[in-house]
A and B are shown apart, each in its own frame.
Chain A
Amino acid sequence: MARIFLFGNNIDTDVIAPGGYLHLPLEAQKVHCFESIYPHFSKRAKRGDIIIAGENFGSGSSREQAPALLKEIGIVGVFAKSFSRLFFRNAINVGLFIGTYDSDSTFSDFDEVLVSFENEEIRSQNSVLHFISPSGIPKDILMAGGMINFAKKVIENEDADEDKLTG
């Protein structure tokens, strides 16, 4: 069972990963995640929990610390009506699942739910939310577990192609 943490619109990267701690290791930054709007988030969230938010989640900076911190804390998926471009890319790259939805969420904070990535739905006892998973290249990157593994594969394949051409 996952628990839901609800957030509103325009949750920006300064709120997720405040500037003053960016130069520190993720472990040390964790406690500051969401501190301006949700103190002690990193202690309250447990491994396996999810975030459901509104429009434009992750707006602002290119700091990859934002999705990386959420992943570090144990969040397994962020679901929003829309994501800012950089957060979208960064989340995929660090292997944090993100999904979009367009109906209204009827969940409450801390609802216990089951998330089915296969069926693209989040289900509680009396409510269900359908979401859309990333597709195309972003999906391939997620399936590889993030950009590090994906890039390794691309390089392997290209080197193999070159060997074919020169060999």
Chain B
Amino acid sequence: MIHNRRTSAEKIFSRVTGKDVKAGEFVWAKPDLVYLHDVLGPMTIEAMKRIDNGNVRFTGQIVVVNDHIFPPKDVTSSNNEKNLVEFAKNRGWIVIPWGEGIEHTLLIEKGIILPGMLVAGTDSHTVTAGAVGAMGVGLGSTDMAALISIGKLWFKVPETILVKVHGKKGKFVTGKDVVLKILSILGTNGANYKSIEVRLDKECGLSQDDSLAIANMTVEAGAKTSIIMNEAVNKVRTDIISDYRSDYEELDLGMEGMVPLIAAPYLPSNVKPVSDYEGIDVDQVYIGNCSNGTLSDMRETAKILKGNHVKAGVKLIIVPATRNIYKQALEEGLIRVFVEAGATVAPSTCGACAGLHMGVLAKDEVCITNINRNFRGRMGDSSSKVYIANSYVAAASAISGKITVPGE
């Protein structure tokens, strides 16, 4: 029976399976696109070899991005990347040129991830695809190997949580604050196995980059996937979003009076107003990653840094998420602002975001950053502490050397 009011997840899974499927059902589905990175990619090809000698039955697009440890930090990571590229080229997969950027931001920017697609990646932040109305689902390496070897994989069609955001955003408030607020309400597993669908009213005044930041961190509430409908930019086709139904789990979020927020160690859901932690000394400020290395973030950072200098003793590392964002930031003179302010501008890589390289925290160090996770040891030594906030807050804290409410 065709039921005419369907969720976005039901629509997309129905299309790829050719059946009329409902939330909660187990299905075997073939995504339109899959992508692998340099940490789980090598494990994926090892598993593929064990399953079926590396044979490929998957007929959709396969993309490889070497972004996590790029440029390679040691012989092991360099060999991993070389082997992955060779394996991929031999099979005609799409290999993204070295250094183009962090996969989730990059594949959207390049138009490789498109609205309505079902996309699977070997990374939890594959949910970022929701920013353009694609359904992004993270997978581990053996799952990905099975998908590519068999040609399809089992999925459970997720239930939907609808978040309606309205009201005009205040000064120094961004999409980061919206998603931190959502996390503070749902907790770290409030959306486990589910799809979070966010509707941003036109009057919110949020950008496409804000949508990206929101989509990216829905996984921090456990979400399997996300769809962000931002009426101010209208990237997402209205036929993809869920049809109105009264039985959705719904959340209502007003932006009036919302202030910049911060997630204190060790959970992204441990959210308070920035003012609650004002004055805490920081050793490092990190601005970048797949959620907030966008051009908007570069502009917000430059706005605060212009004419100022980083506090003596503080490390400020700025990472444009893609080469293209880097180039635009160059053209707009933002990189000059960063360098003159005493920042280190690093190449587009995951790097310090996951404590991989290029900015790993030392014992007891405190970092304020606009990344997406603040788990124990996330960015380095297990005694280090990570606070998450938007780019304005991070940049303002770099100048004062303390957690700072911007504009004060």
User: Which residues of A approach B to under 8 Å, CB–CB?
Assistant: 10, 12-15, 18-20, 22-24, 35-37, 55-56, 59-65, 82, 84-86, 89-90, 93-94, 136-137, 146-148, 150-152, 154-155, 158
Contact = CB atoms under 8 A, between A and B. Distances in A.
A70 to B, nearest CB: 14
B91 to A, nearest CB: 17
Interface stretch (B103-111, B291-299, B377-385): B377-385
A10 B267 contact: yes
Contacts of A18: 355, 377, 382
A60 B238 CA distance: 30
B345 interface: no
Contacts of B31: none
Contact of A62 (B140, B222, B383): B140
A121 to B, nearest CB: 25
B22 interface: no
Given A55-B189, A62-B123, A155 B150 contact: yes
A85 B192 contact: yes
A60 B123 CA distance: 10
B375 interface: yes
B124 A82 contact: no
Question: Which 7 pairs show the lowest CB-CB distances between chains A and B?
Answer: A36-B382, A64-B140, A19-B354, A90-B140, A14-B375, A56-B189, A151-B146
B55 to A, nearest CB: 9
DSSP majority for the B interface? Answer: loop
Interface in B29-59: 39-40, 43, 47, 50-52, 57
Given A24-B76, A36-B382, A63 B140 contact: yes
Nearest to A20: B355
A136 B27 CA distance: 11
A63 B39 contact: yes
15 contacts: A13-B375, A14-B355, A36-B377, A56-B188, A61-B354, A85-B193, A86-B139, A89-B140, A93-B146, A146-B142, A148-B142, A151-B149, A152-B51, A154-B150, A158-B150
Interface in B354-383: 354-356, 360, 373, 375-378, 380, 382-383
B52 A152 contact: yes
B145 interface: yes
A148 B194 CA distance: 26
A72 to B, nearest CB: 13
- Chain B interface residue number, banded: 35 or more
A156 B354 CA distance: 39
A85 B26 CA distance: 14
B224 interface: yes
B260 interface: no
Interface in B319-334: none
B286 to A, nearest CB: 14
A23 B83 CA distance: 13
Contacts of A59: 188-189, 222
Interface string B109-146: 00000000000001110100000000000111111011
A151 B47 CA distance: 10
B344 interface: no
Contacts of A85: 192-193, 222, 224
B39 A20 contact: no
